[in-house]
Chains A and B, each alone.
Chain A
Amino acid sequence: MSTLSERILGAAAGDYVDAEVDRAYVHDGTGVLTLEAWKEMGCPGPAHPERLYILFDHIVPANNSTTATLQKELREFARSRGIHFSDIGGGVCHQIMGEGEVLPGEIVVGADSHSCTLGAFGAFATGVGATDMAAVWASGTTWFRVPETIAVRLSGSFNSAVEAKDLALTVVSKLGMDGASYRALEYIGEGTKSLSMEGRLTMTNLATEAGAKTGLFYADDVTRAYLLQFGHRVENQVPEPCTYACEVRIDLGDLVPVVAPPPRVDSARPVASLEGLPLDQVFVGTCTNGRFEDLQRFASIVRDKKVIVRTIVIPSSAGVLRKAADTGVLSTIVASGCTIGTPGCGPCLGAHMGVIGEGEVCLSTANRNFTNRMGIGGSVYLASVATAAASALKGVLTVPEVNHAP
């Protein structure tokens, strides 16, 4: 009788295991250090290039010649070694891995803290550093301490205007920034059924903000239908009775739209309590909330209206951008006065394409609001797509009124 993490890793919580890695990915940021460490280790070719991915998303297209030169080396390495490669504009690494790459039951590591996102497919997915990743390149394996698991039991369904992001921020605020340290989060209960695959990815994306090693959903009918689009037929994962370290219960019907003021992600409070906060920029995108469903919800709120604060919308992948273009979602967003960026991380990490100035306030759909994250002296408030859309139309933090989900 095991938790999903125990089942996938094949050992009990607390045990150390050496595991074969099914998929391992780096981005243009962490890839540079990984390649350095790998070269220093002096190994022959990567053990299993077909399991490795190099995905450019952090600073795309390159912002200066230093970045461009670092990217050039990594690009040439990927191509010469037969490693899966996605160039500028392909999208955020976690999103690309979630477009039919990662499958239930797999062991996945990414050289990025939000690699836990892929746990939404019932995989064991977690972030590692560059040197750990270099060892994975060299050997195809890594070690884990099998985590204990905290159950997040969901019941009920969302009220209008509430979405997965509000739930994710609420879970982080209940647990605290280190409330799930070294542990896994498993989202269980009837309430999971009403969460779309995209909503689940938003949930698992924020697991790391509570310190968790990963966040997991059991693969079910929703997972199966989503992966079928990419040609994969997968089995459901049936939960077994198991021992959880503790359990957090949430009735989705009790939730309200929330905002997390800086500098902590566990600071969620009702949007209503800060309504009217003046904004300098709204940013919709990232590995948290840049998926098609997010853009569609945003478009449904701003349709035939104009945003009155500068608003940047960045699709999380080329696939999302294409779908938004094909369905008219993109033209609705452009017509409302928003700026569209290259699929990727955009200004999320404060490097380019929408960095904020001193004293400025950005309302963002991302996952981090740390000091100076999006620009020195600027403040980042985190919220849902619906809150971002309603606020972009008013220029101040605004409670979204109704659920505009199609």
Chain B
Amino acid sequence: MHLEGNVVCLGADIDTDVIIAGRYLRTKDRQVWVEHVFEDLDPSLGARLRGSVLVAGRNFGCGSSREQAAVALKEAGLIAVIAPSFSRIFFRNAINVGLPVVEGECHCASGDHVVIDLDEGVVICGGARTPVRPLSARMQEILRAGGLVPLWRSKKQ
């Protein structure tokens, strides 16, 4: 899998309350989550996610298990998240909803162009190639299908 986009940098310990606040969870309308994504951190951030790659600090997605956090990022058009580490529930959720998450250190600045090669396990930014942790075969299969639900559906046919 080959992904690319412009970098938006964030700090460490970005929790799921900050990605989508608890007050927006009582709905099935994904557009509501897209409209309010990162609202408490920076209300202008949501509009900059389309076509972007988030490059965050350690422990991205910590806190609540709310899958709406991963869904909000995916539906907002985010290409992928790169971080040195993720909270484990967020990591699984992201894969399950078809949002690529890449574990690794990537030294780049907001606005840089980044290329992610998931098969090779490498991130390329400003000419620098950084190896990242490869995803398991099962996770790659889920991502290629676009998420766990489409994968289940395709297996049933």
A178 within 8 A of B: yes
Query: Nearest chain-A residue to B149 (Cβ)?
Result: A40
- Inter-chain CA distance A32–B25, complex, in Å, is 10
B45-100 contacts to A, CB under 8 A, are: 58-59, 62-68, 70, 85, 87-89, 92-93, 96-97
B26 near A70 (CB under 8 angstroms)?
A: yes
B22 near A128 (CB under 8 angstroms)?
A: no
Task: Give the most central of B68, B87, B88: most A CB within 10 Å.
Answer: B88
User: A residues within 8 A CB of B13?
Assistant: 177-178, 264
B26 near A66 (CB under 8 angstroms)?
A: yes
A69-118 contacts to B, CB under 8 A, are: 70, 111-113, 115
A131 within 8 A of B: yes
User: A residues within 8 A CB of B156?
Assistant: 42-43
- Inter-chain CA distance A373–B17, complex, in Å, is 7
- Inter-chain CA distance A128–B65, complex, in Å, is 7
Interface digits, B4-19 against A, CB 8 Å rule (1 contact, 0 not)? 0000000001010110
B28 near A132 (CB under 8 angstroms)?
A: no
User: A residues within 8 A CB of B97?
Assistant: 131
- Contacts A33-B68, A181-B85 given; does A42 touch B153 at CB 8 Å: yes
- Contacts A30-B66, A33-B68, A131-B96 given; does A178 touch B59 at CB 8 Å: yes
User: B residues within 8 A CB of A29?
Assistant: 25-26, 66
A255 within 8 A of B: no
B115-152 contacts to A, CB under 8 A, are: 136, 138, 147-149, 152
User: B residues within 8 A CB of A196?
Assistant: none
B2 within 8 A of A: no
- Contacts A113-B89, A178-B87, A211-B87 given; does A131 touch B26 at CB 8 Å: no
A185-215 contacts to B, CB under 8 A, are: 211, 213
- Inter-chain CA distance A341–B153, complex, in Å, is 43
B28 near A128 (CB under 8 angstroms)?
A: no
Closest-CB distance, B67 to chain A (whole angstroms): 4
User: A residues within 8 A CB of B93?
Assistant: 129-132
Picked from B40, B85, B149, the residue with its CB within 8 Å of the CB of A178 is B85
B59 near A128 (CB under 8 angstroms)?
A: no
Closest-CB distance, A165 to chain B (whole angstroms): 19
B109 within 8 A of A: no
Closest-CB distance, B37 to chain A (whole angstroms): 14
Picked from B66, B92, B136, B149, the residue with its CB within 8 Å of the CB of A41 is B149
A333-358 contacts to B, CB under 8 A, are: 349-351
Query: Nearest chain-A residue to B40 (Cβ)?
Result: A372
Task: Give the most central of B25, B65, B93: most A CB within 10 Å.
Answer: B65
Interface digits, B21-32 against A, CB 8 Å rule (1 contact, 0 not)? 111011110000
User: B residues within 8 A CB of A129?
Assistant: 65-67, 70, 89, 92-93, 96
- Inter-chain CA distance A376–B40, complex, in Å, is 9
- Inter-chain CA distance A10–B152, complex, in Å, is 26
User: A residues within 8 A CB of B67?
Assistant: 30, 33, 129-131
A395 within 8 A of B: no
Query: Nearest chain-B residue to A178 (Cβ)?
Result: B59
A309 within 8 A of B: no
A29-57 contacts to B, CB under 8 A, are: 29-30, 32-33, 36-37, 40-43
- Inter-chain CA distance A281–B77, complex, in Å, is 40
- Inter-chain CA distance A37–B67, complex, in Å, is 11
A143 near B138 (CB under 8 angstroms)?
A: yes
- Inter-chain CA distance A28–B103, complex, in Å, is 32
B149 near A351 (CB under 8 angstroms)?
A: no
Picked from A16, A131, A350, the residue with its CB within 8 Å of the CB of B136 is A16
A178 near B23 (CB under 8 angstroms)?
A: no
B62 near A368 (CB under 8 angstroms)?
A: no
Closest-CB distance, B49 to chain A (whole angstroms): 20
User: A residues within 8 A CB of B65?
Assistant: 30, 111-113, 115, 127-129
Query: Nearest chain-A residue to B98 (Cβ)?
Result: A131
A43 near B89 (CB under 8 angstroms)?
A: no
Closest-CB distance, A268 to chain B (whole angstroms): 16
User: B residues within 8 A CB of A30?
Assistant: 65-67
Task: Give the most central of B27, B58, B148: most A CB within 10 Å.
Answer: B148
Pairs of residues from A and B, 6 with the lowest C-beta to C-beta distance, nearest first: A129-B93, A178-B59, A131-B96, A113-B65, A129-B67, A130-B67
Q: List 11 A-B contacts (CB under 8 A).
A: A16-B138, A42-B153, A59-B26, A129-B67, A130-B67, A132-B96, A135-B148, A178-B13, A178-B62, A211-B87, A368-B64
